[in-house]
Amino acid sequence: MALIHRVLKLLFPSGHAWMLQGTLGDLISALAESFSRLRTFFRDVLTESLPGKAVETLAEWFKALGLIYDETQPLADRQAMADATYTSFGGQNFDYLNPQIQKEYPLIYLEEILGDAEKIYYYFVRGQIDDLADYNRIADVLVRIAPRHLVPVMILEIADGADDWILVGDGTTPDAYCWATLGTDGLYDNLGLLLS
């Protein structure tokens, strides 16, 4: 309010006659307080008009963007999720991403999943690749085009002739497991460790 009060006083000439005391001073103070409240209101409107900064209207943003609103997630994570969806370009949803990935890797597909009690959002990258270099290329592409509000879980199979190897990772250095010795139960046990 002090800033607006000073600005309003600058509208009057300088000098002792314009010290703005009494009724005129009260009027200037009341106007300064009203303008200060208006300034705060318009700043709040501007803040709430962007989903990455919204607080009070965040639930409405989630509904408008077609996202699931989860109050148990931290505010910063909810804002980041809404902002990532709002500012995405090129249709960065899985209907768009799957055909893009499958142009280069036809046996790879992406699948969005919802985590357990923490309600952390993941997406699976599943399929078959030729070698570790393919894993790294897919991870690099997804870093650039995948939705930022989701965590990748890559489960990719490498057939090397004798055994099938499974690479399990989050887009960084993967863990390799021999499918013949690991089996389905072992894969899901290790996957549970990755998701926790």
Q: What is the pLDDT of residues 150-174, one digit of tens each?
A: 777 777 777 655 455 566 665 555 5
Map out the domains of the chain as residue ranges.
Answer: 2-48, 54-87, 91-195
Kindly report which listed range (26-40, 136-150, 172-186) carries the lowest average pLDDT score. Answer: 172-186
Cα distance between residue 163 and residue 143, in whole Å: 29
Cα distance between residue 102 and residue 99, in whole Å: 5
Please say whether the beta carbons of 83 and 50 come within 8 A: yes
pLDDT (0 to 100) of residue 145 = 74
Q: Tell me the CATH number for domain 91-195.
A: 3.10.310
Q: Could you tell me which residue, 45 or 139, shows the higher pLDDT?
A: 45
DSSP string, 7-76: HHHHTSPPSGGG---HHHHHHHHHHHHHHHHHHHHHHHHHHHTSTTT-STTHHHHHHHHTPPP-TTS-HH
Kindly report which listed range (29-33, 38-42, 51-55, 170-174) carries the lowest average pLDDT score. Answer: 170-174
- Which pTM does this prediction carry? 0.45
* Residue 91 C-alpha from the chain's centroid: 15
Q: What is the pLDDT of residues 71-90, one digit of tens each?
A: 888 898 888 888 877 776 54
